[in-house]
Amino acid sequence: MLGPTGGYLVGFIPAAFLVGLAARHGFDRVAWKAVPLFLAGQLVILAIGVPWLCVAAPLDFATALHKGFLPFLPGGLLKATLAGLGMPLAWRLLRPREP
């Protein structure tokens, strides 16, 4: 936890809290709200992880951004988009059916 990846692991806690809180209010039910929500969750993780990387590695901020943010941005965008598009479908499939 104290190493260079510790900040990303710690970042999952506030990201999960914020995304979960928004999901309780229905933001995960429609794609146009879910995709930005999941993108914000990814950004929270990276926003905590990069400064932690600066301290733990130690790296200057530009290098930490280059090594700890930019390489993970395409994957984070893809994951958030797929999850944001998939969640409304999952909710529709799990909705109880009327007899």
pLDDT digits (tens, 9 = 90+) for 14-62: 999 999 999 999 999 999 999 999 999 999 999 999 999 999 999 999 9
User: Who has greater pLDDT, 84 or 1?
Assistant: 84
Please, what is the Cα angle at 39 between 38 and 45, to 5 degrees? 90
Query: What gap in Å lies between CA 2 and CA 57, rounded to an integer?
Result: 10
pLDDT at 16: 97
User: What is the reported pTM?
Assistant: 0.88
Q: How far apart are CA 36 and CA 58, in angstroms?
A: 32
Of the chain, the percentage scoring pLDDT greater than 90 comes to: 87
